[in-house]
Amino acid sequence: MQKSPLLFRILASTMTLMACQGPLNPDNNATLNSLRAISWGEERSITPPFSSEVSQYQVNLPPGTESLQLRMDKSSATARYKESAFLGMAADNIRRLTLNLSGDQLQISGLQKGRNQLKTEIVAADGTTKAYTLVMNVLPGDINVGTSSTSADAYNLYSDGTTLWVVGWDSAALFAYDLNTKARKSAQDFSSLSSDNDTPRGIWANESFMWVADNSEAKIFAYQRSTKNPEPTKDLTGLRTAGNESPTGLWSNGTVIWVADNEDSKIYAYNITTGARLEDKEFNTLSEAGNKDPGGMWSDGTTMWVVDEMDQKVYAYNMVSKAHEGTKDFTTLVAAGNDYPFGLWSDGTTMWISDVFDNKVYAYRLSNQSRTP
């Protein structure tokens, strides 16, 4: 079928929505088979999961997306899309965008962030129709953390995929934000750290515990996630003995915990359970790369990214060889206004980098290091 451009009203973001084909039903059927949502090459969860009984869905999409491909395979081969029903609605600032329909595939361009709604109808051979609604929630990127009581001194970051914690060094606390909406979640704050943990820097957590590195004490303090209470049996106390006297960033794969040190330009490694040092896991390649003031860290298991607070850059290293991988470096921080970077975290699509002076967490695309404000 030849592409036919259509104009319709929609306010949206980038994603790919695909429907998996299934066995054909009788012709007098206006339903879809199933739906998959893919953006930036990754599948996104649709809520609720697809069901033939459900006609309204929502999907959360990464920041910075701009185009949409929508494919809907119909249960009936003879059913058609009612083209006049392809319209999106927004309470404010309704924009006209271009829609190209080719067979079962729609290509939408010119989309933007926010809550977006798309409606369409499937028309069966006998005229029976079924309406579908898809709400596309394009997530915001940057996070403003800007008051003295809510981590204006944003030193480091950790997220469990739902909540983002920001280290407030001067206030010696961890402040929580909703990763999707960027709203404060004060009930998830760690506002009463141990008295000796008064210069917090790096943080990392699993389902049960939060670990917080203290720069002055050269120690990693542990806290229960559920109660926020200290858990001394999980503390890592051997850093100073190892020479790791100025810990700044933390990242763990659940077994090994890596600890950046900005005094000797190195990343130390320890067993997170026993605290034993694991020298064969350490990164001794930072100085050679120019990464002499390491701060926050994050890894996808293949690459380790490390902020340098002085040269305003994020360096990338191979997790196995520890070699610098310059093509994955983030070198656009100054152009973005992210002049004093320290912490970072990623969900695998967006990389967030905190700035200790402008009360902000900046968002970048992990794939190409470009900005997603």
d(CA 188, CA 225): 9
Beta bridge partner(s), residue 120: 132
SS3 helix, strand, coil % of the chain, rounded to 5? 5, 45, 45
Cut 0.75: pTM above it: no
Q: What structural domains does the chain harbor?
A: 4-138 (2.60.40), 143-365 (2.120.10.30)
Q: Whose CA is closest to 215, among 311, 145, 317, 294? A: 294
Q: Is the pLDDT of residue 197 over 70?
A: yes
Q: What is the mean pLDDT of the chain?
A: 83
Whether residue 352 contacts residue 340, with contact meaning beta carbons closer than 8 Å, is answered with: no
> What whole-number percentage of the chain has pLDDT above 70?
81
Each residue's pLDDT tens digit, 171-196: 889 999 988 778 899 999 999 999 99
In the β-sheet with 209-214, what is the strand arrangement from edge to edge? 200-205, 209-214, 219-224
In angstroms and rounded to an integer, the radius of gyration of the C-alpha atoms of the chain is 24
Q: Is the pLDDT of residue 170 over 90?
A: no
Each residue's pLDDT tens digit, 124-165: 888 888 888 877 777 767 888 865 445 457 889 999 988 999
pLDDT of residue 283: 98
Each residue's pLDDT tens digit, 40-54: 777 878 889 888 889
d(CA 133, CA 119): 5
Whether residue 173 contacts residue 190, with contact meaning beta carbons closer than 8 Å, is answered with: yes
Task: Please list, in sequence order, all residues whose beta carbon lies within 8 angstroms of the beta carbon of residue 154, skipping any fewer than 6 positions away.
Answer: 145, 166, 167, 168, 342, 343, 354, 355, 356, 359, 360, 361
Q: β-strand 313-318 against 360-365: which pairing, if any?
A: unpaired
